[in-house]
Amino acid sequence: MLVTLTIIKYRKRYIPFAFFAMAIHRLPMWLHKNISFYKLMGTGKNGTFDKTPDLKQWAIMAAHKENVSELGLANLYGNFIASWLRFFKCTTTIYELEPIESHGTWDGKKPFGILPAKSDYDGKIAVITRATIRLNKQKYFWQNVAPIAAKMLQAKGFIKSYGVGEVPWVKQATFSIWNSKEDMKNFAYGMKEHAEVIKKTRQQKWYSEDMFTRFIVKKIL
């Protein structure tokens, strides 16, 4: 399966049209015959869970039934979205991803297929961690998770990350890229504070749904 994450940057004067795109781009994505799952998302300012949105930066994540010949916007998302982004002079970064490990669900689905929880792969890796945060657990989430997530930016082997989300403060995700799975695991499970927060999320049931998926990074355009 081909999975793509496209980071889209609008110029400041076109921000109102970025909001409009979140509504009208749903139809061409839904009608696209090669897309089995998609999300149109906003982003946070600091590359991880963040209460402050970056109104110039947005994202499209999609699972494609079949590989496409080229990672052009028209091939991936159709001519309407490609023309829209060109018209508003958006810049884009496209990540071509191959899902290899996953657990949990996104909107009750396994959008990237049935995958093992673990594999032997240990090269350059991308990870998406997403959750729907219970309204009565918002306070605990932002007090505990956000400060730990910010430390990721200084972790060994960290390359890049984006905080993305469908619904501000409630449906949140972080997409991060690491030099190796070992570096990612050392951050996720080797840091005492992080391990304690993970334990709290499970014991206190902060999330109504969550998903953790790892990908091989095939290309970045």
10-residue averages of pLDDT along the chain (221 residues): 97 98 97 97 86 93 93 95 98 97 96 94 94 93 80 90 91 95 88 82 93 96 93
Give the CATH class of 99-220: alpha beta
Tokens of 196: 């304690």
pLDDT given for residue 54 in this prediction:
94
Say what the pLDDT of residue 75 is. Answer: 95
In this predicted structure, what is the pLDDT of residue 14?
A: 98
2-98: CATH architecture = 2-Layer Sandwich (3.30)
- pLDDT recorded at residue 180: 96
What is the model's pLDDT at position 212? Answer: 95
Cα gap 3→94, rounded to integer Å? 10
pLDDT score at 9: 98
Q: Tell me what pLDDT residue 11 has.
A: 98
Q: What local confidence, expressed as pLDDT, does residue 27 receive?
A: 97
Neighbours of 202 (CB within 10 A): 10
Residues of the chain with CATH 3.30.70.100: 2-98, 99-220
